[in-house]
């Protein structure tokens, strides 16, 4: 894939990000941070690629596996804590 | 090749899911669905990758994933809501760290796309070490005042960082990569250390943005669109939050990173007298009000007063038919949206909780403004006194209420170090003490 193509993707994504995030209600700014933490764990894809490239057990593989672990921590921790926070914002009549 | 095109499409789908998950946060009613979409997008991307790219060490990957799941979910379930800023700070750091590790593995593995990778590495390293420092600061384990040569040190470290970067870009050697990582780690630490406690929401947002842009760098290096799109999304989110916070504090990012905290003003505080109220006075005022606006600040979080506040609200509404609203300043607390989460935790109906712009016109008709553990965000000098360091900062206009009740530990100035003239206003009553205890005592009187 050419660099220009990737730059196009990046630039347009920044605009999408800008407009989507602008619409987030201030009351949910904390969950916004935890959700964005969780989805930034997508770097796990890179970690999985690097882990798959390892031909033998070496330092690179250790780094990749550590990256899988930490990105996973972001994903699971981030989504779980968002879920917990967002539950608090449920309408009360739903609780009953 | 078909498998890879399929993978591309799946990644694109995941990216769309992530965009929709953030979009879901535009309203509390759609937010949980949004979170669910985010989870779905993540599962899709991970499963597809695992299926299409076979690895020699599937057991190791599975082990890493499962231990992350166990630890991450346990962490998320056990963290106290008041300790959320610390958790968010650590998650930012962990995000940066994973980009850093992927980048390092990549540099060691192939010798291509090195410059793209180094962007991911440098930003990731800064996000990592910066967040660790932010975590310690938020946890109160470590108090670090801006020392005299902090800016000098930052410039030196930044200079070394740029030097290492140029060296790495021109020679592409592993040892320069290590130097680059080391200086980026140091820079993340030295840039975060001097940032003041009240500026932490901004710093957390900046570090959040960094963890996103680090993923973008890795995405460029690996030509992976889902990393680029998601990273840009996270980067935009952190940047916008930082912009919202800086605007709400009437400060620039430059000021926060490089300038000294405002000095405490030498004022004639001794000459002025702040009127003190008794618990009974406060209870009487609250009972007989038609409209009460509660203004919480970090003091509510630190004394965990949100449950007491909820009980007080419940009593006032149901026993005395008082209209109770909550007013949240964008920078109240230690992270964006901190107060909202705590109030939601205490089951305060979110439709009664209002943001700065929504609530300000209401103060004029309010009988009582109940300011609990907040100070700077109500400082009327921000509007009336051009010589005040806070001048120009948007505030909650509590001074317009008929009576202002301040629940505070002392008359001391807030984090900004600026005296609040409101304490000495004729319509202000001070209630000294712990936010939670005072509120509970009022409840006993109601």
Residue boundaries of the structural domains of chain A: 27-95
Confirm if A35 and B21 have CB atoms less than 8 A apart.
yes
pLDDT range class, residue B201, cuts 50, 70, 90: confident
Average pLDDT, chain B: 87
Query: Which residue among A9, A50, A73 places its CB closest to the CB of B229?
Result: A9
Domain of residue B171, residue span: 81-261
Q: Which of B116, B261, B376, B434 is catalytic?
A: B376
Domain co-membership, B193 together with B137: yes
- Using one digit for the tens of pLDDT, what is the confidence trace for B279-335? 888 899 898 999 999 999 888 888 889 999 999 999 999 999 999 999 999 888 888
Task: Name the residue among A26, A39, A89 with its Cβ closest to that of B230.
Answer: A39
Neighbours of A10 (CB within 10 A): 19
CB contact under 8 A, A44 and B77: no
Q: Are residues B219 and B317 both part of a single domain? A: no
Partner B contacted by A93 (CB < 8 A): no
- Over 80: is that where the pLDDT of B219 sits? yes
Whether B98 shows a pLDDT value over 90: the answer reads yes
ipTM for the complex?
A: 0.94
Instruction: Check CB contact under 8 Å for B49 and A49.
Output: yes
Higher pLDDT, B123 or B115: B123
| Residue A6 to chain B, least CA–CA distance (Å) | 7
Confidence of residue B368 (pLDDT cuts 50, 70, 90): very high
Name the residue with higher pLDDT: B69 or B302.
B69
Enumerate the residues of chain A whose CB falls inside 8 A of the CB of residue B31: 28, 31, 86, 89
Classify B231 in phi/psi space as left (phi over 0), alpha (psi -120 to 50) or beta: alpha
Same domain, B166 and B301: no
Taking an 8 Å cut-off on Cβ atoms, the answer to whether A74 and B109 are in contact is no
* Chain B residues within 8 A of A8 when measuring between CB atoms: none
Question: Does residue B211 register a pLDDT over 50?
Answer: yes
Q: Is B129 among the domain residues? A: yes
B223 touches chain A (CB under 8 A): yes
**Residue A93 neighbours by CB distance under 10 Å:** 6
Q: Is A3 on the interface with B (CB under 8 A)?
A: yes
CATH number at residue B431: 3.40.50.1220
Average pLDDT on A64-83 reads 96
Three-class SS state of B380: coil
Give contacts of B357 with chain A, Cβ < 8 Å. Answer: none
Lowest pLDDT segment from B249-263, B291-305, B394-408: B249-263
DSSP state letters, B20-54 = HHHHHTTSHHHHHHHHHHHHHHHHHHHHHHHHHS-
DSSP characters over B128-175: HHHHHHHHHHHHTS---PPPTTHHHHHHHHHHHHHHHHHHHHHH--HH
- pLDDT score recorded for residue A55: 81
- All residues of chain B having their beta carbon less than 8 Å from the beta carbon of residue A96 are none
Q: Are residues B229 and B287 in the same domain?
A: no
Let me know how long chain B is: 446
Query: Are A17 and B236 inside 8 Å of each other by CB?
Result: yes
The answer to whether the CB atoms of A24 and B64 lie below 8 A apart is no
For the segment B338-363, the average pLDDT, to the nearest whole number, is 90
Residue-wise pLDDT tens digits, B33-57: 999 999 999 999 999 999 888 888 8
Q: Output the pLDDT for position B9.
A: 94
Residues B283, B396 within the same domain: yes
Please give the pLDDT value at position B145.
63
Do residues B250 and B170 share a domain?
yes
Per the document, the length of chain A is 96
| pLDDT per residue as tens digits for the range A30-57 | 999 999 999 999 999 999 999 988 888 8
Interface contact flag, A36 B212, Cβ < 8 Å? yes
Residue B97 lies in a domain: yes
Instruction: Answer yes or no: are the C-beta atoms of B324 and B354 closer than 8 Å.
Output: no
Once rounded to an integer, what is the mean pLDDT over residues B325-352? 89
Is B18 a residue whose pLDDT tops 90?
yes
Of the three residues B261, B290, B324, the one that is the final residue of a domain is B261
Residues B215 and B339 placed together within one structural domain of the fold: no
The torsion angles phi and psi of B207, rounded to 5 degrees, stand at -65, -35
Nearest residue, CB atoms, A77 vs list B34, B64, B75: B75
Burial of B368 (0-12, 13-18, 19+ CB in 10 A): buried
Can you tell me the mean pLDDT for B198-226?
91
pLDDT at B268 over 70: no
Q: What's the pLDDT band for B266 if we cut at 50, 70, 90? A: very low
CB distance B102–A83 less than 8 Å? no
A72: nearest CA partner in chain B: B68
Banded model confidence at residue A93, pLDDT cuts 50, 70, 90: very low
Residue B95 has its nearest CB partner, among A35, A37, A92, at: A37
Residue of higher predicted confidence among A80 and B378: A80
In this structure, the answer to whether residues B30 and B127 fall within a common structural domain is no
Q: Is residue B73 part of a domain?
A: no
For residues B230-240, give the mean pLDDT. 95
Distance CA B255, CA B251 (A): 6
* pLDDT value at B264 more than 50: no
pLDDT at B63 exceeding the cut of 90: yes
Q: Which of B93-102, B265-274, B354-363 has the highest mean pLDDT?
A: B93-102
Interface of B with A in 35-94 (CB under 8 A): 35, 38-39, 41-42, 45-46, 49-50, 53-57, 60-61, 64-65, 67-69, 71-73, 75-77, 79, 81, 84, 87-88, 91-92, 94
My answer on whether B106 and B230 are in the same domain is yes
Domain C-terminal end among B261, B292, B309: B261
Would the pLDDT of B102 be above 50? yes
A8 touches chain B (CB under 8 A): no
What's the whole-number mean pLDDT along residues B133-142? Answer: 82
Mean pLDDT in residue range B350-378: 89
Number of compact structural domains in chain B: 3
| Candidate from A13, A57, A74 with C-beta closest to B95 | A74
Same domain, yes or no, for B430 and B346? yes
Does residue B277 share a domain with residue B257? no
Does the distance separating the beta carbons of B92 and A37 come in below 8 Å? yes
Task: Say whether B58 is catalytic.
Answer: no
């Amino acid at each position: 894939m050419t660099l220009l193509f990737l730059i196009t993707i990046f630039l347009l994504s920044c605009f999408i990000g800008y407009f989507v995030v602008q619409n987030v209600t201030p009351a949910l700014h904390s969950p916004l941070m935890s959700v964005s933490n969780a989805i930034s764990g997508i770097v796990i894809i890179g970690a999985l690629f690097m882990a798959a490239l390892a031909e033998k057990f070496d330092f690179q593989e250790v780094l990749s596996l550590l990256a899988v672990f930490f990105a996973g921590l972001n994903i699971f921790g981030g989504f779980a804590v968002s879920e917990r926070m967002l539950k608090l914002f449920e309408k009360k009549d739903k609780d009953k | 090749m078909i498998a890879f095109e399929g993978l591309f499409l799946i990644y694109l789908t995941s990216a769309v899911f992530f965009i929709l998950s953030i979009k879901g946060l535009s309203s509390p009613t759609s937010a949980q669905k949004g979170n669910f979409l985010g989870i779905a997008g993540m599962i899709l991307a991970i499963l597809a990758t695992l299926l299409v790219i076979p690895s020699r060490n599937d057991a190791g990957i599975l082990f890493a994933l499962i231990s992350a799941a166990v630890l991450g979910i346990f962490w998320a379930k056990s963290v106290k809501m008041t300790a959320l800023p610390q958790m968010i700070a650590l998650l930012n750091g962990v995000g940066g760290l994973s980009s850093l590790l992927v980048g390092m593995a990549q540099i060691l593995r192939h010798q291509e796309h090195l410059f793209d990778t180094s962007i991911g590495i440098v930003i990731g390293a800064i996000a990592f070490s910066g967040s660790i420092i932010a975590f310690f600061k938020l946890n109160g384990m470590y108090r670090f005042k801006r020392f005299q040569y902090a800016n000098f040190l930052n410039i030196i470290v930044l200079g070394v960082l740029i030097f290492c970067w140029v060296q790495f870009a021109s020679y592409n050697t592993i040892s320069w990569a290590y130097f680059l990582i080391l200086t980026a780690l140091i820079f993340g630490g030295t840039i975060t250390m001097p940032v003041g406690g009240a500026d932490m929401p901004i710093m957390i947002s900046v570090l959040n943005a960094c963890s996103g842009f680090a993923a973008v760098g890795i995405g460029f290096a690996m030509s992976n669109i889902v990393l680029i799109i998601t990273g840009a999304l996270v980067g935009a989110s952190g940047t916008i939050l930082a912009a919202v916070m800086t605007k709400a504090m009437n400060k620039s990012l430059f000021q926060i990173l490089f300038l000294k905290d405002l000095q405490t003003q030498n004022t004639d505080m001794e000459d002025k007298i702040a009127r003190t109220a008794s618990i009974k006075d406060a209870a009487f005022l609250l009972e007989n009000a038609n409209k009460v606006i509660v203004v919480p600040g970090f003091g509510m979080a630190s004394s965990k007063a949100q449950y007491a506040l909820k009980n007080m609200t419940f009593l006032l509404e149901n026993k005395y038919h008082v209209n109770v609203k909550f007013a949240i300043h964008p920078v109240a607390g230690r992270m964006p949206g901190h107060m909202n989460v705590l109030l939601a935790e205490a089951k305060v109906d979110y439709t009664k909780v209002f943001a700065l712009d929504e609530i300000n016109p209401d103060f004029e008709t309010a009988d009582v403004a109940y300011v609990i553990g907040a100070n700077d965000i109500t400082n009327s000098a921000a509007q009336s006194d051009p010589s005040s360091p806070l001048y120009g900062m948007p505030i909650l206009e509590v001074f317009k209420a008929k009576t202002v009740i301040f629940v505070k530990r002392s008359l001391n100035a807030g984090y900004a170090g600026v005296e609040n003239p409101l304490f000495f206003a004729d319509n202000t009553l001070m209630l000294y003490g712990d936010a939670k205890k005072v509120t509970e005592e009022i409840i006993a009187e109601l």
